[in-house]
Amino acid sequence: MLQLEGVCKSFTKNGITREVLSGIDATFLPGDAVGILGRNGAGKSTLMRILAGVEQPTSGKVRRKMSISWPMGYDAAVHGALTGADNTRFIARLYDRPVGWMEGFVQEFSEIGEEFRKPVKTYSDGMKARLIFALSMAVDFDCYLIDEVIAAGDARFAERCRQALLARRGRSALILVSHQTNTVRTLCSHAAILHEGRLIFHEDLDQAFAEYEQL
Partner 1 sequence: MRIERQEPSLLQVFRARMRVMAALMIRELHTRFGRENLGYVWLFMEPALLGVGVALWQWAMQGSAAMPGNLNKFSFFLIGYILFYLFRTLVSRSPHGIAANFQLLYHSRVTVESVMWARSVLDGAAVAICISIFLVLIGLALGDWPSDPLQIVLGVVLMMLLAHGTGLIFLAATALNPGIVDKIVHPFTYLSIPFSGMFYMVWWLPGSFQEVVLLSPIMHIMEFTREGQFGTRVPYTYDMSYMLIWIAAVNFIGLCALKVAKPHMEH
Under the rule (CB under 8 A), what is the footprint of partner 1? 9, 11-12, 29-31, 49, 52-59, 64-68, 70-71, 74, 76-79, 81-82, 86, 90-91, 93-96, 142, 170-171
The least CB distance from residue 215 to partner 1, in Å, is: 27
Query: Which lies closer to partner 1 via its Cβ, residue 96 or residue 203?
Result: 96
The least CB distance from residue 79 to partner 1, in Å, is: 6
Q: Find all residues with CB under 8 Å of 135, minimum gap 6, and list them.
A: 77, 78, 87, 88, 91, 106
Query: Which lies closer to partner 1 via its Cβ, residue 74 or residue 212?
Result: 74
Q: Find all residues with CB under 8 Å of 172, minimum gap 6, and list them.
A: 30, 31, 140, 141, 142, 143, 144
| Per-position DSSP letters for 19-56, written without gaps between them | EEEEEEEEEE-TT-EEEEE--TTSSHHHHHHHHHTSS-
Query: Which lies closer to partner 1 via its Cβ, residue 61 or residue 159?
Result: 61
The least CB distance from residue 76 to partner 1, in Å, is: 5
Identity of the amino acid at 204: D
Are 175 and 17 spatial neighbours (Cβ–Cβ below 8 Å)?
no
What is the rounded distance in angstroms from the CA atom of residue 146 to the CA atom of residue 136? 11
Query: Which lies closer to partner 1 via its Cβ, residue 116 or residue 209?
Result: 116
Query: Which lies closer to partner 1 via its Cβ, residue 12 or residue 214?
Result: 12
Identity of the amino acid at 26: A
The least CB distance from residue 196 to partner 1, in Å, is: 21
Overall size of the chain counted in residues: 215
The least CB distance from residue 31 to partner 1, in Å, is: 5
